[in-house]
Amino acid sequence: MAATLLRIHPDNPPQNRIQQVVDVLRRGGIIIYPTDTVYGIGCDIHNAKAVDKLCRIKGLNPDKALLSFICSDLSHISDYAHGITTPTYKVIKRALPGPFTFIFEASSKAPRQGGRQRKTVGIRVPDSPIIIQLVKELGNPIVSTSVREDENTLDEYVTDPDLIFEKYRSLVDIVIDGGFGNNVPSTIIDCTNDDFELVRQGAGDIEQYL
């Protein structure tokens, strides 16, 4: 069945449309949505079949895929990551919500990936009302990865929701049109050694929060 292209106001997402998307997520659906950086593609973190389908769509090995979790706030982070010290927590609290992905050691509660316990988790709390409201209504994080123009090209992101819909309409359940996205991804910061190691410079500048 072809995907639905669903227009949602980026600043004031109506509850009925948020609920429509959440219902799809709860049934194991795959959605594409705007963030504060590039458009993302994701599913319910607790639905293993949906995560496997997401990996197939992206051409990723489920055992090795570096998928991040989108949380609605910092309250979920301690559920899926451990070893976060007070100084580190203070920095991420200042930086989030924002255009960052923070990598931590995975806790035992982090969902398995490809049948294996994952070693690390990437956590995002985007400054984007649509995805934050979706996660809040769902009640748990969603697994997320970026939508690219060409999966073999690392720096090309699709910004036009109409073009995203044309490309993915036979692969996903809903494409949310929240307006044009950005083409600069999140900044990735590795916090596993209790420091802030820059993995990828993106839209966020971590230096201003250290």
Domain presence at residue 208: no
Domain presence at residue 134: yes
pLDDT score, position 62 = 79
Domain presence at residue 209: no
Please, which pLDDT band fits residue 111 given cuts at 50, 70 and 90?
A: confident
Domain presence at residue 124: yes
Task: Look at residue 110 and give its three-state secondary structure.
Answer: coil
Q: Angle at Cα 140 formed by Cα 146 and Cα 206, nearest 5°?
A: 50
% pLDDT > 70, the chain: 94
Please, which pLDDT band fits residue 194 given cuts at 50, 70 and 90?
A: confident
**Number of domains observed in the structure of the chain:** 1
Domain presence at residue 62: yes
Specify the pTM: 0.93
DSSP string, 119-178: SEEEEE--S-HHHHHHHHHHTS-EEEEE-BS-TT-TT-B---HHHHHHHHTTT-SEEEE-
Domain presence at residue 210: no
% pLDDT > 90, the chain: 76
pLDDT score, position 122 = 94
- Please name every residue paired with 43 in a beta bridge, in sequence order, or none if there are none: 143
pLDDT score, position 45 = 92
Domain presence at residue 207: no
- The H or E element spanning position 197 is strand 197-200
- Across the chain, mean pLDDT equals 91
User: Which one-letter amino acid corresponds to residue 115?
Assistant: G
The answer to whether residue 198 scores a pLDDT higher than 80 is yes
Mean pLDDT (whole number) for 78-91: 91
Compute the distance between CA of residue 96 and CA of residue 182 in angstroms, rounded to an integer: 18
Please, which pLDDT band fits residue 1 given cuts at 50, 70 and 90?
A: low
- The CATH code of the domain that includes 193 is 3.90.870.10
The answer to whether residue 154 scores a pLDDT higher than 60 is no
Please, which pLDDT band fits residue 146 given cuts at 50, 70 and 90?
A: very high
Judged by average pLDDT, the poorest of 72-86, 175-189, 193-207 is: 72-86
The answer to whether residue 155 scores a pLDDT higher than 80 is no
Domain that holds residue 130: 4-200
- The verdict on whether omega for the bond into residue 126 sits within 30 degrees of 0, i.e. cis, is no
Domain presence at residue 40: yes
